[in-house]
Structures are given as structure tokens and as C-alpha cells.
């Protein structure tokens, strides 16, 4: 009975004493936490603290040097069907030769061998994913002609088209202006509510994401920790984390801002 | 002077020339090479390996002259060096910026080696010209057989890896995260490129290969953003360049590589000009559909953050 209960709702991520080593260098160690399914989780830490390594480990691209990691109850790499990934630099160079809708279709059929035409059902799924990110009208455009915000929507559609349980976003707001940042954050909140997807998001600037975050994995002094977002947005913790004075302010809208006291 | 002018003049007997046996071989060989170029060219452009394709042709040069030195078939030397060179470039240059330097260095070394091998051999000045500029008219029956086999291998391979290759070419990071064997596909692609270059060098030569493999694909991508349509269009452009080029070479007694390359480049220039005008005209309407016209390429302004 208890066994079936456990397997019915596995945690999104379960780290047990995991150590990350890349190129012979220790990146971080003693990762011991469980991220429940269903939240919007930030991954924060200063440059070089191993945020991308953590993402790559969840994707199965970097093995754990020691310890044990499970993604939805499965070893990393075997859970990739249920993961949608949006890298930081999304198809920056090859956008001239392909349309937005075709890229989204590759998110669905790109793993299959052999040449094959897309089925009506697949095209419907692509159309739904594009509609979900409000990008239907740019589906026929070349990727290279899209603005940063539009491109980020296409990247999201490509990640969502295979109906993942976990969405991993690496700096989704980088190189977007404030208006586009706001749009993408609103879109993430809506997608999270509608699709019941767990979202893992790496971000340098937490502020635009704070209203929608539940919790955060923070990489402090070479060890990843996991905590509810209200515990993480703490002057002492953030000052220690980033090595620069940080203040937390409560605005009339209930939003929390971090500011350097320089 | 008069001799040169006579050589350029119109040949009234061009039809018998065009229907002769050696011209038949040239047409079949050129057609096979054009089909192969159409299959691989789109991926060369999307993967930004145009420089590698160009370099591979040069890397074939010492293979060809070395084969002559050892008394082996030129095609065998070309194949070993082109495929080998492709794999070396694939292994060494993973990042694009790194690949440029690796490719250029291997290119320079290969060209020097080719010259050295050629200086060792005695009766090979025609080999050098043939390798550098190609000679479709000298294609033998045996070469045609090997071309046909290579085309089948290429067609089957591209057919099998088409979708994962396209996925990893357009968006390597996402494909890798989805479990696509990006590195294996990259090496397979380089090997296929090496095979194509081996063939195409024999048709249009080291120096002119770019115009048959890369230029038609780049032209096609300007005309259509659909991958399959681009491959079909690219093949059609390569085929017209080869056929019209051979026709022109028979009519005006020209080395075929010259009209073939000229036609491919002329089509590219024409499409480039038309495309540029169309885009300039379409610019305002594209801007207005932009969801966020304020989006710029500058990095995100530091919000009231850290």
C-alpha cells in the first residue's frame, strides 16, 4: 500500500548526497533535498556556482560524481520524455533556414529516426502549443525574423509540445526588455496553472520572477540547498550568497525587491 | 591571340559533342554529384560548416596527388583524405569559433602537403589541374559506378538520420537534452560530407566545389524556409547548373567547371538581389506585427536588482 502511494506521486527531483565534478574540478557537493512536483522553482547562485551543471545533471548530460539523483522517480536521462528544455541561447545562429512551426514540430518528432511526414495529430499538437504561448500568428515566420520575446515563446512552445511534466528554463528573461520580461513571466504563470507542469528556472535577476516563484534551489558556498522562496529572499542569506550587500524591501504591492546598499 | 579566340568561339557541331559517349558520362556523373550536393547542402548551411566543406575539398588535394605518387586511384586517395579530414575536424572543433581555426590550420597543412606530393611525382601536372578545377569530361565508367554507390549510401543515410540530424542542426542543445545523440550525428554528418566532397571534387574540383555544394543550398534557403523544399530547390539549382554548364561547354568549347560554377553563382546573385529588395519592402509590415517593438538586442537593463 505505502509503496504504491509513493510511486503514485514521485517528487520532481530527489537529490541524495550528490556531488558534481566537471573537468576534474569539484563544482558542488552534499546536495540533499527533494523538490516536490508542481512548483515554480528558481535556481540561483553567483556566476560559476554550478547552476547550469545542476540543470545538465537533471537532464542526464552530466553524471553525478557520487550520490543519487532521481527525476520523477527515474534516473536522470531516462526521464527526458517528460522534460522540456529551453536553453539560454536558443537557436541563435540557424534561424534563417527554418520556420517557427517546424522548430516546434521538431520538439515532438525530432528524436524519431527516418524521414517522415508529420501526421494531422502532430500538426494539431504543434498548433495547440503555439496557441498556448500566444504565438500562432508567427508560426509561419522564419526564426531569424522574430524578436527576442517572440523567439522565447517559440522556444517555450517547442519545450511544451511533447507535454512535459518538468519545464527547465535557463535564463529565460536574459536579453529581453522589461516589457517582454513581464509578458514571459505572465505567460509562465498561466502555463503553470493550466498545464500543471513543474518549472525549474535559472535566473540572475530574481525580481521579475518573484511574484510567481514558490521556492528556490540556491548554491551557497559550494552546496545546493532547497527552501521556500520567502526563506530565500532574506537579506543575510542573499548577501552571503552573492557576496555583495543586498536589501529586501516590501513594496505596497507585496512584492519583494533586492537592492544593493552601495 | 587568334588561337585563344578560336577556342572560345561557338562550336557548330555541339550537338554531336553533347550526345557523345564521354559527354554522356559527364552528364550522368554531374547529375549524381548534383543530387548528392542537394541532399547534404542544406545541412552544411544550417550547421554553419560551409568553411569545413570548402576546407575538405582542399584536404582532398594531397590525397589525390599522394595517390598518384603511390600509383593508386585518385578517387581512393581523395576519399581517404576527405572522410579522414572530416572526422578530424568533427572531433577537434566542437565549438564553432574553435572549428574555424582548426579547419583553417588543417587546410593549410593539407595544401602544402599536396604541393609536396606533387613535386615528388613526375607526370602529374594534369592531375593537379584536374584536382583543383575538376574535369567532368574525363569521368570514367568506373568512377560513375562508385558515384552511384556513394549516392545510394548518402541517400539512405540522410533518409535514416533526417529528423534527428535536422533537430540537432537547428538546435543542438535542445536535441541533446531530449536524448538525441548529437555528437554521433555530428560525426556521421561529417563523414557524409567527406563522401560528398570526394565525389564533387572529381566533378568541379577543389577550388570550385563551394559553388556546387554550398551556394545552391544557400540560394534555396533564401527562397524557402521549409527544409525539404529547400533541399529539392537546392538540388534543382545544382542540376540546372550542371546540365546547362555542360551544354555551354559543348557549345563554346569551355572547360565544364567554368560555366557550371558561373551559372550557380549567377542564380545565387539574382536571388540574393531579389530577396534583399523583397525584404526591404516587407520590413514595415513585419515590424507592425512584432508583439514588442521595443525589443532590442541590448542586454536586459539591470532592473532594480542586485
The verdict on a CB contact (< 8 Å) between B46 and A176 is no
Distance CA B187, CA B160 (A): 15
Q: Answer yes or no: is A52 within a domain.
A: yes
Nearest CA in chain A to B298: A175
- Contact between B235 and B151 under an 8 Å Cβ cutoff? The reply is no
Does A20 reside within a domain? no
* Shortest CA distance from A101: residue in chain B: B226
pLDDT tier for residue A255 given thresholds of 50, 70 and 90: low
By CA distance, what is B286's nearest residue in A?
Answer: A145
Question: Nearest CB to A207: which of B176, B299, B303?
Answer: B303
Nearest residue, CB atoms, A114 vs list B160, B168, B295: B160
Kindly state the cell numbers that stand for A56.
545538465
Closest-approach residue (CA) in chain B for A207? B305
CB B304 to CB A174 under 8 A? no
ipTM here: 0.90
The answer for A15, left when phi > 0, alpha when psi is -120 to 50, beta otherwise, is beta
CB contact under 8 A, A99 and B169: no
Contacts of A149 in chain B (CB under 8 A): 291-292, 295
Q: Does A70 touch chain B (CB under 8 A)?
A: no
User: Which grid coordinates are listed for A69?
Assistant: 539523483
Q: Do B299 and A175 touch (CB under 8 A)?
A: yes
How near does any CA of chain A get to the CA of B164, in Å?
A: 5
Question: Which CATH fold would you assign to the domain B14-278?
Answer: ABC transporter involved in vitamin B12 uptake, BtuC (1.10.3470)
Residue A185 is given by DSSP the state: H
* Inter-axis angle of helices B21-46 and B182-204, nearest 10: 150
Query: Among B51, B168, B178, B182, which would you mutate to test the A interface (most chain A Cβ atoms within 10 Å of its Cβ)?
Result: B178
DSSP classification of residue A88 = S
Query: Rounded to the nearest 10 degrees, what angle do helices B50-70 and B74-92 cross at?
Result: 140
Q: Is residue A253 part of a domain?
A: yes
- Chain A residues in contact with B178 by the CB 8 A cut-off are 80, 85, 107, 110-111
Q: Which of B233, B247, B249, B242 is nearest to B263 (CA)?
A: B242
Residues of A whose CB is below 8 A from B100:
none
Range of the domain at A218: 38-59+81-260
B48 vs A197, higher pLDDT: A197
* Kind and range of the H or E run holding A148: helix A148-160
Phi, psi of B33 (to 5 degrees): -65, -40
Cβ-Cβ contacts under 8 Å, A181 against chain B:
300, 303
Closest CA to A132 of A42, A203, A212, A193: A193
The dihedrals phi and psi of B304, each to the nearest 5 degrees, come to -60, 60
Q: Which residues of A touch B46 (CB under 8 A)?
A: 94, 97-98
Domain boundaries, chain B: 14-278
Which residue, among A151, A135, A246, A254, has the nearest Cα to B170 in the 3D structure? A151
Identify the pLDDT of residue A37: 94
d(CA B276, CA A207): 41
Do A106 and B163 contact (CB within 8 A), yes or no?
A: yes
A38 interfaces chain B, CB cutoff of 8 Å: no
Give domain status of residue A250, yes or no: yes
Q: Which of A61, A86, A145 sits opposite B176 (nearest CB)?
A: A61
A80 touches chain B (CB under 8 A): yes
The residue with cell 523583397 is B278
Q: How far is B86 from chain A (nearest CA, A)?
A: 21
Minimal Cα distance from A100: which residue of B? B225
Contact B164 A246 (CB under 8 A): no
3-state secondary structure of A224: strand
Q: How confident is the model at residue A6 (pLDDT cuts 50, 70, 90)?
A: very low
pLDDT the model gives residue A91:
67
Please give the Cα distance from A196 to A191 (Å, whole number): 8
Contact of A258 with chain B, judged by CB distance below 8 Å, is answered with yes
Count Cβ atoms within 10 A of the Cβ of residue B235 and give its class: 0-12 exposed, 13-18 middle, 19 or more buried.
buried
A173 touches chain B (CB under 8 A): yes
Inter-chain touch B291–A150, beta carbons under 8 Å: yes
User: Are B225 and A99 inside 8 Å of each other by CB?
Assistant: yes
A154, A134 contact by CB (below 8 A): no
Q: How far is A154 from B85, CA to CA, in rounded Å?
A: 37
pTM for the whole structure = 0.88
| Full pLDDT tens readout for chain B, 306 residues | 444 555 577 888 888 888 888 899 999 999 999 999 999 999 999 998 888 888 898 899 999 889 988 888 888 999 999 999 898 888 876 666 677 888 888 888 888 998 898 888 766 567 788 888 888 888 889 999 999 999 999 999 999 999 999 999 998 999 999 999 999 999 999 999 999 999 999 888 887 888 899 999 999 999 999 999 999 999 999 999 999 999 999 999 889 999 999 999 999 999 999 999 988 877 654 443 434 333 333 333 333 333
Report the run of H or E that residue A5 belongs to, with start and end: helix A2-8
Q: Three-state secondary structure along chain B?
A: CHHHHHHHCCCCCHHHHHCCHHHHHHHHHHHHHHHHHHHHHHHHHHCCCHHHHHHHHHHHHHHHHHHHHHCCCHHHHHHHHHHHHHHHHHHHCCCHHHHHHHHHHHHHHHHHHHHHHHHHCCCCHHHHHHHHHCCHHHCCHHHHHHHHHHHHHHHHHHHHHHHHHHHHHHCHHHHHHCCCCHHHHHHHHHHHHHHHHHHHHHHHCCCCHHHHHCHHHHHHHHHCCCHHHHHHHHHHHHHHHHHHHHHHHHHHCCCCHHHHHHHHHHHHHHHHHHHHHHHHHHHHHHHHCCCCCCCCCCCCCCCCCC
pLDDT at A36 (0 to 100): 95
Q: Which of A209, A224, A159, A194 has its CA nearest to residue A38? A: A194
Minimum-distance CB partner of B292 among A60, A85, A149: A149
Minimum Cα–Cα distance from B167: chain A residue: A110
**Angle, in degrees to the nearest 10, between helices A178-195 and A148-160:** 20
- Average pLDDT of the segment spanning A151-179: 93
CATH code at A240? 3.40.50.300
Whether the CB of A207 is below 8 Å from some CB of chain B: the reply is yes
| Residue numbers in B near A80 (CB within 8 A) | 177-179
Residue A221: inside a domain: yes
- The number of angstroms, rounded, from the C-alpha of B83 to the middle of its chain's C-alpha atoms is 14
Cβ contacts of B163 on chain A, cutoff 8 Å: 106, 109-116
Q: Which residues pair with A250 in a beta bridge?
A: A256
- Of B258, B259, B250, B255, the closest CA to residue B13 belongs to B250
Number of domains into which chain A is organized: 1
Closest-CA distance of chain B to residue A194, Å: 23
Laid out side by side, the sheet with A83-86 consists of A83-86, A166-170, A198-202, A40-44, A215-220, A223-228
Is the residue at A123 inside a domain?
yes
Q: Smallest CA–CA separation between A59 and chain B, in Å?
A: 6
Nearest CA-CA partner of A91 in A40, A137, A159, A44: A159
Distance from CA of A12 to the nearest CA of B (A): 17
Cβ-based neighbours of B223, under 8 Å, separated by 6 or more = B230, B233, B271, B275
Tell me which residue in B173, B176, B300 faces A177 most closely, judged by beta carbons: B300
Amino acid at each position: 500500500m505505502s509503496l504504491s502511494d509513493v510511486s503514485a506521486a514521485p517528487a520532481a527531483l530527489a537529490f541524495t548526497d550528490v556531488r558534481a565534478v566537471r573537468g576534474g574540478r569539484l563544482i558542488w557537493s552534499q546536495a540533499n533535498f527533494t523538490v516536490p512536483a508542481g512548483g515554480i522553482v528558481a535556481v540561483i547562485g553567483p556566476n560559476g556556482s554550478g547552476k547550469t551543471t545542476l540543470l545538465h545533471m537533471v537532464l542526464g548530460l552530466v553524471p553525478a560524481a557520487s550520490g543519487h539523483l532521481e527525476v520523477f522517480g527515474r534516473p536522470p536521462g531516462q526521464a527526458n520524455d517528460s522534460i522540456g528544455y529551453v536553453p539560454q541561447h536558443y537557436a541563435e545562429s540557424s534561424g534563417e533556414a527554418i520556420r517557427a512551426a517546424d522548430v516546434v514540430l521538431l520538439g515532438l518528432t525530432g528524436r524519431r529516426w527516418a524521414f517522415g511526414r508529420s501526421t494531422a495529430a502532430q500538426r494539431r499538437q504543434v498548433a495547440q502549443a503555439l496557441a498556448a504561448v500566444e504565438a500562432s500568428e508567427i508560426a509561419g515566420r522564419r526564426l531569424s525574423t522574430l524578436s527576442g520575446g517572440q523567439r522565447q515563446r517559440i522556444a517555450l512552445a517547442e519545450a511544451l509540445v511533447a507535454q512535459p511534466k518538468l519545464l527547465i528554463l535557463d535564463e529565460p528573461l536574459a536579453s529581453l526588455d522589461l516589457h517582454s520580461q513581464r509578458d514571459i513571466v505572465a505567460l509562465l504563470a498561466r502555463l503553470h496553472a493550466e498545464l500543471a507542469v513543474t518549472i525549474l528556472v535559472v535566473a540572475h535577476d530574481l525580481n521579475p520572477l518573484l511574484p510567481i516563484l514558490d521556492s528556490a534551489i540556491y548554491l551557497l558556498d559550494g552546496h545546493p540547498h532547497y527552501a521556500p522562496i520567502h526563506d530565500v529572499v532574506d537579506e543575510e542569506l542573499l548577501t552571503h550568497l552573492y557576496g555583495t550587500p543586498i536589501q529586501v524591501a516590501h513594496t505596497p504591492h507585496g512584492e519583494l525587491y533586492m537592492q544593493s546598499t552601495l | 591571340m587568334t588561337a585563344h579566340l578560336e577556342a572560345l568561339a561557338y562550336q557548330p557541331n555541339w550537338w554531336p559533342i553533347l550526345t557523345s559517349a564521354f559527354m554522356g558520362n559527364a552528364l550522368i556523373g554531374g547529375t549524381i554529384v548534383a543530387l548528392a550536393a542537394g541532399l547534404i547542402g542544406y545541412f552544411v548551411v544550417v550547421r554553419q560548416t560551409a568553411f569545413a566543406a570548402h576546407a575538405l575539398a582542399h584536404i582532398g588535394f594531397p590525397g589525390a596527388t599522394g595517390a598518384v605518387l603511390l600509383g593508386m586511384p585518385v578517387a581512393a586517395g581523395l576519399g581517404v583524405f576527405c572522410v579522414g579530414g572530416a572526422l578530424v575536424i568533427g572531433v577537434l572543433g566542437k565549438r564553432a569559433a574553435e572549428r574555424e581555426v582548426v579547419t583553417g590550420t588543417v587546410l593549410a597543412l593539407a595544401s602544402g602537403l599536396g604541393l609536396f606530393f606533387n613535386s615528388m611525382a613526375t607526370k602529374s601536372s594534369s592531375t593537379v589541374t584536374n584536382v583543383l578545377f575538376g574535369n567532368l569530361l574525363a569521368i570514367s565508367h568506373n568512377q560513375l559506378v562508385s558515384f552511384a554507390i556513394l549516392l545510394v549510401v548518402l541517400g539512405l543515410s540522410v533518409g535514416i538520420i533526417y529528423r534527428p540530424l535536422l533537430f540537432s542542426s537547428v538546435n543542438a542543445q535542445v536535441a541533446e537534452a531530449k536524448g538525441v545523440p548529437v555528437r554521433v550525428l555530428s560525426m556521421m554528418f561529417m563523414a557524409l560530407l567527406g563522401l560528398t566532397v570526394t565525389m564533387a571534387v572529381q566533378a568541379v574540383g577543389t577550388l570550385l566545389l563551394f559553388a556546387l555544394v554550398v551556394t545552391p543550398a544557400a540560394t534555396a534557403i533564401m527562397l524557402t524556409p521549409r527544409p525539404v523544399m529547400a533541399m529539392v530547390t537546392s538540388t534543382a539549382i545544382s542540376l540546372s547548373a550542371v546540365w546547362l554548364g555542360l551544354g555551354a561547354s559543348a557549345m563554346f568549347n569551355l572547360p565544364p567547371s567554368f560555366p557550371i560554377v558561373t551559372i550557380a553563382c549567377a542564380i545565387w546573385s539574382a536571388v540574393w538581389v531579389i530577396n534583399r529588395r523583397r525584404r526591404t519592402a516587407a520590413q514595415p509590415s513585419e515590424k507592425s506585427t512584432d508583439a514588442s517593438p521595443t525589443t532590442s538586442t541590448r542586454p536586459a537593463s539591470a532592473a532594480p536588482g542586485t
